[in-house]
Amino acid sequence: MADMISMAIMLHVGSILLILLLLLLLVWHFSKEMEFKPFSIKYEQLSLYYRATLGALFFTGLVVMAVAKFDVLWTVYIMVLVVLHMIATTVKENIAYKLTHVKDALSQETFKAYAKKKYTIDIILIVVLSAVTYAVSL
Ligand code: HEM
């Protein structure tokens, strides 16, 4: 049982590290000056990996919860809220991307600023939540 829990936590922490890496890459990509067409090809690729990892983060969290027989700390409820927030803002961001006109520089810049803010907030939430989780479990 202890082995199963530590394995599930390892996968959970692995998805946290992977999503942090992808978020840093996304923020870096949004900071680059480039044409919208090559920008969007790379952006679509990175955001696809980000969404898949978000799913993995949720799934591994559920596995940890299940192997711990749902006997978990209050911090886990915050984790679920944070992930739901990340999913909701990803859907909103995707709608904003779809509405961005390929030839309209102003709407492209507005979208870039909006998405960069979303991903930066995600990074802050993950770092703060992880710090709180480790501080509480000390
Ligand atoms: C932004 C998303 C999340 C972050 C940053 C996060 C972070 C963490 C961290 C740092 C730990 C401690 C790992 C360790 O002990 O080494 C942890 C444990 C855990 N996480 Fe998450 N997590 C997230 C999402 C979720 C979700 C969506 C769920 C459930 C659906 C979940 C369920 C759990 C559970 C059950 C534990 C074990 C807690 C305990 O031992 O009481 N997490 N998480």
CA of 79 to the centre of ligand 1 (A): 6
Between these two residues, 57 and 68, which has the higher pLDDT value?
Answer: 57
Q: What is the pLDDT of residue 129?
A: 98
**Which of 79, 123, 126, 129 for mutating ligand 1's site (highest number of atoms within 8 Å of CB)?**
79
- All residues at 6 or more sequence positions from 85 whose CB lies less than 8 Å from its CB, including other chains: 125
- Which stretches does DSSP call E strand in the chain? none
Q: What is the pLDDT of residue 113?
A: 96
End-to-end CA distance of the chain: 22
* 41 has pLDDT over 90: yes
pLDDT, tens only, 3-32: 888 998 999 999 999 999 999 999 999 999
Which atom of ligand 1 lies nearest, measured to the CA of 62? 30
**Which of 7, 53, 64 for mutating ligand 1's site (highest number of atoms within 8 Å of CB)?**
64
pLDDT, tens only, 69-122: 888 899 999 999 999 999 999 999 999 999 998 778 999 999 999 999 999 999
**Which 3 state secondary structure label does DSSP give 124?**
helix
Per the listing, tokens 């599930």 go with 8
Among 77, 55, 53, which Cα is nearest to 65's?
A: 77
